[in-house]
Amino acid sequence: MKRLTLIAVLLLAAGCSGNVKKSPADALRRDPYEFLAERLSASRDGAPGRKVAVLPFAYTDRRESDDGVVISERLLTRIIQEGRLEVVERSLLAKVMGELKLQNSGVMDAASIKSLGRVLGVDAVVTGTLTRQGDGSVEINARMIKAETAVVLTAAAATVPADWEASATQPAPLPAAAAPVQAQPAPQVVLPAAQPFPGAWRYRENFRVAEKSGAQLTDYPVLVKFDSAAAIRLGRMKSDCSDVRFANSDERSALSFWLEGGCGTPSARAWVKLPLLARGAVKNIYLYYGNPSAASASSGDDTFLFFDDFNDGDVDQDRWSSPAHGCRVAETGGRIEFTGCSSGNATTKTIMSASRRLTPPYMVEFDGLSDDGGSNGMRRDVTLRWDGTAVGGYGVPGNSMEVSFYDGTRHNYEPRSGISQAGRVEIKSISNGEIRASVFSQEAPLTPGVWRHYRISDDGANISAYWDDRLLASTASAWSGGSSLGISAREYPNGVRAYYDNLRVRPLAAAEPDVYPYGQSYAGGTKRVYTR
């Protein structure tokens, strides 16, 4: 009945509009989200530019699902594209809903809508309910509600295919050909064995991941920051974070992750690999903890395309080969050390080559340290798109792109054809050992003995270098050589040691997914105690 009423409202509105806009039938054949956005944006009440909040939609049968978040997110995007309404940013909405202790149920009483409207300063909120149809599609009933009075201003209905469901079900391990991605009637698949959660884990926090690049991402690590300080202080998490686990949107399937650091701080950093993040999807993932008998499951090898934490004291032959050796390389103290690579102004160069082939787009990240034993400093080179050959007395990569970071204390030192200065980055195109093009960027002199974080992104067209998350230099490159990755270091003039640690390579999307805590308690997300 209700649905019929809404459709009647819709048809009436269309019939009365009197202009030559497309009929609802035409609109429905177009894009259902666009159709809804157009209807809601065209609400009679209020002037253009009205500010609205789009709440997560929910199923009428109250089943637990990500679907409402995906749908409201898509609708929000279309409303923005429609350009007639101002929309509250999602993270602000989540924060305010958390502070007001409002359920994300999609159905809200008048008082809640009024208080939400006041706090957010919006004129109206968009809410909606979902009904799963027999063919697996989802019927959306959306309403625009005036915040001041909680009166429904307009309503519209549409049916959409559940085309995001691949992201909510099981990992699709490798090529799409082998993975049935037909829409299933329900995303809440109960999985058989080997699903450890919740089991002995007593606490969990809910995070959401929003796909932002417009492409389907597979085996994609995302950075999840969580408040380990509070959880440890309350005795809920082990002090070494070894009981930390992550689960996919089914709340059960374990996700590979690597704990980068920050255990014991309010901003612990974990990279969590999502088997599949559908285009435009917003999905739940869960952080579990509170299992005193759990041992660490953090694994960089399982999370990244290529990884080395240099922790076991041996340079791993299955990870690295050394096509050009000139100085000592050793794993020591949980990092890899380059030392004795030069004497006076003469430099030699060691290149370690990753055994795994890597093709853009990807992101290389590592931590770097230079000790303070030298009078000048250390140059650190990362070679990308390398054909694997080394030429010249110093083992220069034959054909490649190379990013060099200069860690040191002295300016205006020229050891070679290029200009080496403290605190510089250089991106070079190298052809048969000759530098063809070079981009420099100046940075303040570094403090030796301090670990810094380095990133190099290669999206296939541009190579960009970062220090401590700050972009320093970027250059377009037409070079499409090999797929080897090399690392090296050389000192000026002598006595300096250079270190790499936590080197990893991950796939790179055109835009990183957004990861944010989601729940009633904004600081730290929702903590659920499992009672058994």
The binding site for Ca ion (CB under 5 A) comprises: 309-312, 314, 316, 331, 334, 501
The residue count for the chain: 532
307 close to 504: Cβ distance less than 8 angstroms: yes
Q: Report the residue number, 254 or 330, with the smaller CB distance to Ca ion.
A: 330
Cα–Cα separations (whole angstroms), residue 48 to 85, 245, 485 = 6, 47, 54
Residue nearer to Ca ion on the CB measure, 383 or 502:
502
- Give just the sign of the alpha carbon dihedral 26, 28, 34, 35: positive
- Between helix 110-120 and helix 90-99 the angle, nearest 10°, is 120
**Beta carbon nearer to Ca ion, 320 or 406:** 320
- Smallest gap from residue 320 Cβ to Ca ion (A): 9
Residues 67, 72, 78, 80, CA torsion sign: negative
Assign 3-class secondary structure to 384-442.
EEECCCEECCCCEECCEEEEEEEEECCCCECCCCCCECCCEEEEEEEECCEEEEEEEEE
**In the complex, least distance from residue 421 CB atom to Ca ion, rounded to whole angstroms:** 29
Q: Which is nearer to Ca ion, 109 or 314 (CB)?
A: 314
In the complex, what is the shortest distance from the CB of residue 502 to Ca ion, in angstroms, rounded to a whole number?
6
Q: Which is nearer to Ca ion, 211 or 337 (CB)?
A: 337
Give me the least distance between CB of 452 and Ca ion, in Å please: 15
- Among residues 211 and 308, whose Cβ is nearest to Ca ion? 308
Which residues, in sequence order, are bridge partners of residue 197? none
Select 73 or 337, whichever has its Cβ closest to Ca ion.
337
What SS3 class is residue 11? helix
Burial pattern 24-48, b for ≥16 Cβ within 10 A else e, equals beebeeeebbbbbbbbbbbbeeeee
**Residue among 526, 513, 12, 491 at smallest CA distance from 287:** 526
**Shortest distance (Å) from residue 308 CB to Ca ion:** 6
Nearer to Ca ion, 331 or 434 (CB): 331
Minimum distance of Ca ion from residue 317's CB (angstroms): 9
- The nearest distance, CB 456 to Ca ion, in angstroms, is 19
Contacts of 280 (CB under 8 A, 6+ apart): 70, 73, 74, 77, 164, 211, 214
Task: Enter the DSSP assignment of 98.
Answer: H
* Nearest residue to Ca ion, by Cβ distance, number only: 334
Nearer to Ca ion, 72 or 242 (CB): 242
Nearer to Ca ion, 68 or 300 (CB): 300
CB of 336 to Ca ion, least distance (A): 8
**Alpha-carbon gap, residue 320 to 360, rounded angstroms:** 19
Amino acid at 522: Y
For residue 335, the minimal CB distance to Ca ion (Å) is 5
CA atoms within 13 A on the CB side of 132: 19
- Hey, what are 78's tokens? 């279309």
CB of 313 to Ca ion, least distance (A): 7
**Torsions phi, psi of 67, nearest 5?**
-55, -45
Nearest to 404 by CA among 385, 387, 416, 420: 420
